[in-house]
A and B are shown apart, each in its own frame.
Chain A
Amino acid sequence: MSLSNKHLLGLYGVPREDIQLILDTATTFREVLERPIKKVPTLQGKTIVNLFYENSTRTRISFELAQKRLSADTINFSTSVSSTKKGETFKDTVRNIEAMKVDMIVVRHQSAGVPHYLTRISKANIINAGDGLHEHPTQGLLDMYSIREKFGRLEGLNVCLVGDIAHSRVALSNIFGLKTMGANVSVCGPATMIPYGIQSLGIKVYQNINEAISKNNVLNVLRIQLERNAGERIPSLREYHRYFGITAERLEKYNKDILILHPGPINRGVELSSEVADGPYQIILDQVTNGVAVRMAVLYLLGTMH
């Protein structure tokens, strides 16, 4: 069994069998992570570049750890400024890296489509680690893995994404992946944070958080970007928390069996109360561990493909 594409650019259009294979393979790596020596020699001699044009300590560390545990050689290229401002075009930067004979590129960028563009100018396998507000496929996969681990399935589950859907690549990757796997996906958030025409994708929109809690098996709660939204799309964080925040009282009142996911980092007291963030409903730290396993699976499946 192999994946049908040599790149992981997003979960849009990725066939069910591919997602299944990644999740099943991740199970293997989840076992490796429990060993005393959490390292296997599988990608020995492979060179992977982590090309990060946007700050992201978590995702980068998770990818780096996954690469090291597969014994690949990794190089980190991080810059928070677009290289265009330094006078070198993105294309030139990539050409330079390509000339160093790399096998895989893990890329994060502020602009949607950069990973797709990379596939046109590089021969390496490209893995999207977040492009603009478009996709973050490994996050989508690790969320699905974590849900599947708890419920033993994805099909038929009711999963709701909560928060700023319009400005979330995590939301889109979850929506595409979960729908392919047969889950019923919905979103919940203030009207200003729901993207145009989302209903036409067969996605239910909740504007009442209590209803979203009572009707779903899983809430995947997104981070409210403080800088981006304060004042522009929501009046205040306080008001957001009051009407859309996940609190223990709400969960106890409306659905005690719910599972809470959060991609991190958490704004305590905004999208999640501290009680929920540390409480029994959530699996936030499992997601982090699963993230390494899922990324190992993706790196393995792409890195050993012919």
Chain B
Amino acid sequence: MDIKAKLIDEVGLQRTITRLAHEILERNKGSKNLVLVGMRTRGEFICNRIYEKIKEIDNSEPPKGILDVTLYRDDFRTRLKQPEVSVTSITFDINEKDIILIDDVLYTGRTARAALDALMDLGRPNTIQLCVLVDRGHRELPIKADFVGKNVPTSLNEEVKVKLKETDGEDAVYLVNAPKQ
């Protein structure tokens, strides 16, 4: 990993999660109709942390699930490596709910698009709100996040790497040079 800068450290990440939880509760006037959906893989863990924070602030436990969007991707023909599918685990009814869709990095918007399609196939929610830890720009579709941890202007030959204790052993967000093709 060719690191250019550390964008967020461990303390910063905790602070960001706290702020995002507050914003979500504020905009939705509490957690009564909320459900949280994390996107595999890192979105799932960010979702868990926001959930814990909401529980702490609001003393409530909104339903939470995991979404795997592999089957809805549009890049099967162009990607070199075949993506691995995993199970979507949303065991509650999403009809008429306000869904907070959580992911680590928002980039082209294609993964979010796939997630919207996947959620629509599971029911008819009241709203879907997108929450991301980092928005790095370069959108290819008309998609905008509702809650953003940090806006990071990047160039195309850079990448944003989110590291989480659950998967990587540390909490941090890095700006790195993209590996040469």
Q: Which residues of A pack against B, CB within 8 Å?
A: 1-2, 25, 27-28, 31-32, 35-37, 39-42, 70, 300-301, 303-306
Contacts and interface: CB of A to CB of B under 8 A. Distances in A.
A273 B54 CA distance: 57
Shortest 5 CB-CB contacts between residues of A and residues of B: A40-B71, A37-B121, A304-B76, A2-B82, A42-B71
A28 B68 contact: yes
Nearest to A3: B82
B68 A306 contact: no
A296 to B, nearest CB: 9
Interface in B43-86: 68, 70-73, 76, 79-86
A23 to B, nearest CB: 13
A91 to B, nearest CB: 29
B122 A37 contact: yes
A287 B68 CA distance: 25
B65 to A, nearest CB: 12
Contacts of A303: 76
A28 B121 contact: no
A39 B83 CA distance: 19
Nearest to A297: B85
B87 interface: yes
Contacts of A31: 87-89
B12 interface: no
A42 B79 CA distance: 14
Contacts, number: 49
Nearest to B73: A42
Contacts of A1: 82, 84
27 contacts: A2-B81, A28-B88, A31-B88, A31-B89, A32-B71, A35-B121, A35-B122, A36-B121, A36-B123, A37-B121, A37-B122, A39-B121, A40-B71, A41-B71, A41-B72, A42-B71, A42-B72, A42-B73, A42-B76, A70-B71, A300-B71, A300-B85, A304-B76, A304-B82, A304-B83, A306-B80, A306-B82
A305 B123 CA distance: 30
Per DSSP, are chain B's interface residues mostly helix, strand or loop, or mixed?
loop
A1 to B, nearest CB: 5
Given A35-B121, A36-B123, A39-B121, A305 B82 contact: yes
Given A31-B88, A40-B121, A41-B72, 8 more contacts: A28-B87, A35-B121, A40-B72, A41-B71, A42-B73, A300-B71, A301-B82, A306-B82
B5 to A, nearest CB: 33
B116 to A, nearest CB: 12
Per DSSP, are chain A's interface residues mostly helix, strand or loop, or mixed?
loop
Contacts of B88: 28, 31-32
Chain B interface size, as a band, is 20 to 34
Interface in B107-152: 117-118, 121-123
B88 to A, nearest CB: 6
A164 B74 CA distance: 46
Nearest to B93: A36
B86 A28 contact: yes
Residue among B71, B79, B81 with the highest chain A CB neighbour number at 10 A: B71
A36 to B, nearest CB: 6
A149 to B, nearest CB: 13
Contacts of A301: 82
B123 to A, nearest CB: 6
B146 to A, nearest CB: 25
Nearest to A296: B71
Nearest to A27: B87
Nearest to A38: B121
A99 B123 CA distance: 40
A28 B82 contact: no
Nearest to B76: A304
Nearest to B83: A304
Nearest to B118: A40
Contacts of B79: 306
A31 B70 CA distance: 14
A98 to B, nearest CB: 20
A33 to B, nearest CB: 12
A213 B14 CA distance: 59
Nearest to B121: A37
A2 B85 CA distance: 11
Given A35-B121, A37-B122, A28 B85 contact: yes
A39 B120 CA distance: 11
Nearest to B95: A36
